[in-house]
Amino acid sequence: MRTTPAPNTARAGRRRPRSLRSRMILSSSLLLAALSVVIITITGLAMRTYLMTGLDQRLDALAEHSAAARGQIGAPTSGLPYLRAFGVPAGTIGVSVSGRRGTVRHAAVVDDAGQLTAPTAAQRRILATVEADGHHRTLDLPGRGGYRAKAVRADSRDTEITIVTAVPVRPVNQMLGRLLAVESAVAAAALAVAALIAATVIGRQLRPLQRVAATATRISREPLGHGEVRALERVPEADRATETGRLAEAVNRLLGHVENALADRYATELRMRDFLADAGHELRTPLASVAGHLQLVRRSPKTAAPQADYALGRMESGIGRMRTLVEDLLLLARLDTGRPLAREEVGLGPLLAEAVADARAAGPDHRWEFLMPGELVLVEGDPDRLHQVVANLLANARTHTPPGTRVTVTVRTDAGQAVVRVADDGPGIPPDLLPRVFERFARGDASRSRATGSSGLGLAIVTAVSAAHGGRAEVTSEPGRTVFTVRLPLCCPAHTGAVHPPRKPVGHELPSGVGLVVPEGSRGIARPATTAPQSNNGGSG
């Protein structure tokens, strides 16, 4: 039966990764150790070369002394007199060889007491083979180890004699061994001190990185997935000249972005909750009205035609409110997905005149003023959506200002842009609402909004449609004056006012009943944006 090892056993067999601090200390220590080995090796080789050179020089001196004593070596009883000289190192061996057959005549070795003793036969045979060519040779003599040997010729009266002198290499090896031992001990001590210093310095340098890791660990334990998030902890600042300092600064900036994103997400959640509550209220009210009037129609006799007509009218009104809310949501969804809008030339002057005329009809208690431009302002875009932008701005002014408020609409060109402004002299926008007035579901007085049927999407549609046309929407407000500004790129920036389109642009003509003047008796006025005398016959613009 085959069994598989448990996961814990497999994990236990794996080598646990070392920390960055441990790896840096280990790497620096290994590097120092490798450098120490290289230094010791180079020093040992240089010292051995130096010591061997000194040993060869001493060997040369002894060989010269042996050649100078050639007159005495021929006597059988004289031995090797140069070995008895002062300063000959212990262990030095001298051998005199006569004739070409290599017969050893004399052989002696200087012992530790300075006395001459006889070397072994094996040692004599090896030394007798050294040729007198002036070169130094390294020999391994049985029982004595390594030697450096040199042979010279010393002719006597009777026969040819070769004297071989050999000095031990052991003193050089001993001195070199002691040197290497000292260097190794010093290197080991230096390596230990260096590792300790490296651990301290690396630990201090990595301390900001450890603080970053600790801060990130604590932040990871925070419930960031939902709800309001408190201010995130920051990494303590470090020296920006170091990598860890720059990392701490970057992490703090990242945490700031995360904090802002979480705050925006929470604000969006709150706005979404408000919107769902408002949307539910907006949909529930007309649905309840439709359901009630349907029951009324069912229960009413066929003769109650007026009641049935009234109920059907109320049902149509409720369905219209629901359709408007749904269409606004669908429009924002389409703009969010980046779907292209219709593109054609649109004249803003007549389009604004149409929108002002509609607003005057919907809000006769306000004073509507439209300053007609002195030139044709053309933009490229979707005429229905652009009309909706202006209509939403006018509806916003009508809804949130008291009766009698003057609402002024102007359009002009500025630096290749069409600038549409809707200004009113109402009470203004509350300061706490002004920064988020273009956000979706942003609403001021919730009770008033519900009474007027506002869903809080009108200004969001304004900024979304403006952005889809390559423009932007702005607002400034103070008590007594609120100005909404929409900037759109001109269709022909280089020839502003020149009208030569391939086909008739949308909105180039004023709608029926809407001109530069308003019907007599209305509250609104319309006048051209020029210095020419104005005609005022009392109408709407």
The domain that holds 416 is classified in CATH as 3.30.565.10
Domain-ending residue, one of 336, 363, 391: 336
Domain-ending residue, one of 283, 310, 336: 336
The confidence score (pLDDT) of residue 367 equals 93
Same domain assignment for residues 52 and 140: yes
The confidence score (pLDDT) of residue 205 equals 77
Distance CA 407, CA 419 (A): 16
Strands 367-372 and 406-414 come out as parallel
Distance CA 396, CA 423 (A): 11
Distance CA 438, CA 466 (A): 12
Q: What phi, psi does 517 have (nearest 5°)?
A: -130, 165
CB atoms closer than 10 angstroms to residue 398: 21
Q: What phi, psi does 477 have (nearest 5°)?
A: -150, 140
Same domain assignment for residues 326 and 349: no
* H-run or E-run covering 528: strand 525-528
Same domain assignment for residues 37 and 171: yes
Judge whether 319 lies within some domain: yes
Neighbouring-strand partners of residue 472: 487
Same domain assignment for residues 320 and 283: yes
Q: What phi, psi does 440 have (nearest 5°)?
A: -70, 140
Cβ(358)–Cβ(518) below 8 Å: no
Cβ(453)–Cβ(285) below 8 Å: no
Distance CA 527, CA 518 (A): 9
Strands 367-372 and 525-528 come out as parallel
CB atoms closer than 10 angstroms to residue 343: 11
Same domain assignment for residues 154 and 273: no
Per run of 10 residues, the mean pLDDT along the chain (length 541 residues) is: 51 61 86 91 92 91 77 49 83 84 83 87 89 89 91 72 90 91 92 89 80 82 74 76 79 85 81 70 71 71 63 73 75 77 88 92 92 85 92 92 93 90 92 85 53 68 90 92 93 49 39 38 37 32 30
Domain-ending residue, one of 118, 143, 175: 175
* Contacts of range 86-93, beta carbons closer than 8 Å, 24 or more positions apart: 88/62, 89/58, 89/167, 89/168, 89/171, 90/114, 91/144, 91/167, 91/168, 91/170, 92/62, 92/165, 92/166, 92/167, 92/168, 93/119, 93/123, 93/127, 93/141, 93/147, 93/165, 93/166
Distance CA 124, CA 164 (A): 10
Judge whether 302 lies within some domain: yes
Distance CA 466, CA 336 (A): 13
In 402-449 the beta strands, taken as DSSP E runs, fall at 406-414, 417-424
- Residues near 369 by beta carbon (within 8 Å), at least 6 away in sequence: 406, 407, 408, 409, 524, 525, 526, 527, 541
Judge whether 186 lies within some domain: no
Judge whether 218 lies within some domain: no
Which bin fits 404, alpha (ψ -120 to 50), beta or left (φ > 0)? left
Give the residue carrying structure tokens 């497999």: 10
Q: In what order do the strands lie in the sheet with 472-478?
A: 472-478, 481-489, 417-424, 406-414, 367-372, 525-528
- The one-letter amino acid code at 250 reads A
Same domain assignment for residues 348 and 331: no
Buried-state track 81-103, b at ≥16 Cβ within 10 A, e below 16: bbbeeeebeebbbbbbbbeeeee
And the tokens for 450? Answer: 């519900």
- The number of residues in the chain equals 541
The confidence score (pLDDT) of residue 307 equals 66
Same domain assignment for residues 282 and 367: no
Same domain assignment for residues 135 and 274: no
Same domain assignment for residues 53 and 112: yes
Structural domain tally of the chain?
3
Torsion of CA 355, 359, 361, 367, to 10 degrees: -120
Judge whether 130 lies within some domain: yes
Judge whether 77 lies within some domain: no
Nearest to 375 by CA among 541, 491, 530: 530
CB atoms closer than 10 angstroms to residue 63: 24
Same domain assignment for residues 39 and 148: yes
The confidence score (pLDDT) of residue 414 equals 87
Same domain assignment for residues 288 and 385: no
Q: How far apart are the first and last CA of the chain?
A: 94
Cβ(443)–Cβ(458) below 8 Å: no
Distance CA 303, CA 307 (A): 9
Same domain assignment for residues 324 and 401: no
Cα separations in angstroms, 170 against 55, 103, 140: 11, 28, 11
Q: Which CATH number fits the domain that encloses residue 274?
A: 1.10.287.130
Judge whether 156 lies within some domain: yes
The confidence score (pLDDT) of residue 265 equals 81
Enclosing domain of residue 280:
243-336
The confidence score (pLDDT) of residue 425 equals 92
The confidence score (pLDDT) of residue 100 equals 65
- 3-state SS assignment for residue 418: strand
Judge whether 188 lies within some domain: no
Nearest to 148 by CA among 137, 134, 132: 137
